[in-house]
A and B are shown apart, each in its own frame.
Chain A
């Protein structure tokens, strides 16, 4: 073969090998909705765990900024977009690109109808896991009380009734339709003599205004309050079952790898956190007379 043919032959092989690879290396966009520490922790852990190149954006809580980010991404060829936090999800719901979307660090499952494929990792700890931990923490408790707004949380309460019963607990409820009604709802709950108060991520009952009242009530009545987050434990709740933010980042990376590696075939995938942390307020536990908090896995003491 003469020299020209050799050159064409090498060029042809190079093209055959490199072009598809180049076409496949499109990368990921990671859009973080907030600037809070937990989101940063999750994002850093995600970037550390993921093997692909990522472009990162932070919306600083602005859905409007999210729209601009999605516009700038419109002409980019992306494998997927990863959304950290609810502001990023809200922005995507208004300008969903037709690529696979993976959302994380949100509490409830989210709908993204225009996305090519959707995978979500929520922060919610399922009710069975919660009540089995409550049973270990408070072995003598018989009745748990909960405030909820039926408009938001009826399905969750139905599930919780069964989960509590499995652990030998009676779940008593009080309806709260506005955060301002919390004090009145607690009066109604008091008559049902709960041994503890269990909180749920309900937009009315978990509102800070309502939580402040519930927290005070629980402390005044020496009732262990199970909050929804580490932050509520720091504010005085006895305990909460929450997530490890770094592990949320790592689990999200794993989810992305599996989604792009075609190991997940469904169009809508929902996962729950694999690592659950039990946060305990030491001062509150002392005040409640719980000198030795029973050993439960992955426990973290605060204050």
Chain B
């Protein structure tokens, strides 16, 4: 409560400050700020020099920078959130191969793994337990996540289909609803330029299981076709990506020699994505089948290490957008089906299958009035359904258990209203979302932002917000049967977060700089810990039970710097985070203490530079993690370096990339089960060749 009052006071103080600044500006007769002034840093990359007709230049549409939460055209400087944008130009120049690789470069954002899951987006150090249900993943603003366990998959869209990635850090459930608890990633798909038909094909090979001296084990291929003609525009793409990294020795849980094994990290992913629009109607379909290396249902050889982990995802969305003068209305219907299938035994005869779906209706309308004001209101309704979570015997084709998860469902509805005021130099947005979950009753969360644009290249933002996430069906109901070793908990309380952040954005001598500091309180964080659980009238002690943690307080600072010229692009981002141990618990099984921020590095940084030299583009990328703790020992600071060389010849682009050039073995703490100290994230050198063809 005190934090809530402090937030309101902060917002009022911020408004007074900004008005004061405005009065001061008026007295000096200085011109007011202009949002378009900063469109360039994240604007759509201009085409490379070629044989454009003058008429193409005359009618060339420069895409404005917009973010999903805007009520009007927004730029980085006056956006009501601190959004980091990775645009197509950056993806192309730095030769990112996946969305998860790209978001690693954002300050305060990491894509980690646990023994159980890969590509977990982590925002501002709030770890994702076993599943990634605290950061919302969206494709073209359509939420996409597993109805049973809650995780979104960053790499369900091939990077070649991505126009830009918008990363919003901090509490965002007021803006986006469920699962945007500690952040949101919106993947915006590419589309044809107005009046054009465009084809795109790509392919490539890379070094494989035995490093760069070994066989060509990695392959990628894909094609897309897009057209934009009058009111109709669509894009269809199909991609396949197979990555095999050099082998490494994995020290699985336990001390027996049989628990040391050679494993190959791999990713074998195929997806199809269709996005279309006709007038106010739009459609989105995304289907993915992914096989990847898995480190076991527990990180033990007997529990499936080095066996296949299969993910199948299907997302369909229809939306209708209506605009009449100052009124805009949107309706969206989403069906999201997910399946995760993984091994639970040494011989791979026992596997688990988790299948769930979500049906979501969203309706919202916004209206602009009196020039400077805007009101937006909306309602969402979502039905989450757990079809099954079965353990089954593959060869016998027999279900062993359904883990108390068959036909579980929960409905959640929410309504929100946001009022915006925008009059230079001030922009204010306050909003409230009331969420009614059929299991947890009503929650009201609010968010307020003040943006003060001091002049055309300087702005200050104050954001105070709350967030809410209801426990997933898995966290509520799961019981490992017949072993009875992990229990969901129907008594769980929803997770709550409150945060305040102050950001300063400027542009100096061609450098765009965003610096911010934040203070966040996380309550009821959900995670597994040893405790007692009752099932079927029997109480089980010293078992893994989903529990709410005690309050955690975190504070941090983030810095993003970018320098951009047509031929040069340099960026650097870094963050510092420090969280307390309010959620500290003693674990008798391992005789150690654990808490969220024990495992989070205080310092992380990324940097990159790219330079065009005629038809060649050189780029280098570095990712750095400072010291961090594993369960028992320190994991020293480490870094990875990637370099790539691209050659553009007409419409064909060739790229040669070396990944992890320094051949460092980067590891991250195994914080979810907490029996191993660390698990590998990046290791070995890999060399890739790729080409792309635009026609």
Name A's B-contacting residues (CB within 8 A): 34-40, 60-61, 85-86, 105-108, 123, 178-180, 182-183, 201, 203, 206-213, 215-216, 219-220, 222, 228-229, 231-232, 234-236, 281, 283-284, 286-289, 303
Contacts and interface: CB of A to CB of B under 8 A. Distances in A.
A207 B197 contact: no
B55 A234 contact: no
B57 A228 contact: yes
Given A107-B54, A231-B60, A216 B40 contact: yes
B57 A180 contact: no
A254 B448 CA distance: 58
> By CB atoms of chain B within 10 A, which of A60, A86, A183, A283 has the most?
A283
A107 B47 contact: no
Top-3 shortest CB links A-B: A287-B34, A235-B62, A236-B36
Given A35-B195, A180-B567, A219-B36, A123 B31 contact: no
A209 B54 contact: no
A177 B69 CA distance: 41
Interface string B568-588: 000000000000000000000
A107 B58 contact: yes
A284 B53 CA distance: 27
Contacts of B52: 203, 207-208
Contacts of B34: 219, 283-284, 286-288
16 contacts: A35-B195, A36-B195, A37-B230, A61-B196, A61-B197, A107-B54, A179-B49, A182-B566, A203-B52, A208-B60, A209-B47, A219-B38, A220-B507, A281-B36, A283-B34, A286-B31
Contacts of B38: 219
Interface residues of B, number: 44
Contacts of A222: 31, 456
B230 A236 contact: no
Nearest to B197: A60
Contacts of A203: 52, 54, 57
B457 A220 contact: yes
Contacts of A106: 55
B46 A211 contact: yes
A224 to B, nearest CB: 12
Contacts of A287: 31-34, 36-37, 456
A36 B194 contact: yes
Contacts of B609: none
Given A211-B46, A303-B73, A206 B566 contact: no
Nearest to A34: B195
B70 interface: no
A232 B424 CA distance: 23
Contacts of B60: 208, 211, 231-232
Given A212-B566, A220-B457, 19 more contacts: A36-B194, A60-B229, A107-B58, A180-B49, A180-B612, A203-B57, A207-B46, A209-B46, A209-B49, A209-B566, A213-B40, A216-B37, A229-B58, A231-B60, A236-B39, A286-B31, A286-B34, A287-B32, A289-B32
Contacts of B48: 209
A288 B37 CA distance: 11
Interface string B61-74: 11010000000010
Nearest to A237: B36
Contacts of B62: 208, 211-212, 231-232, 234-236
Nearest to B73: A303
Given A61-B195, A283-B35, A231 B566 contact: no
A219 B54 contact: no
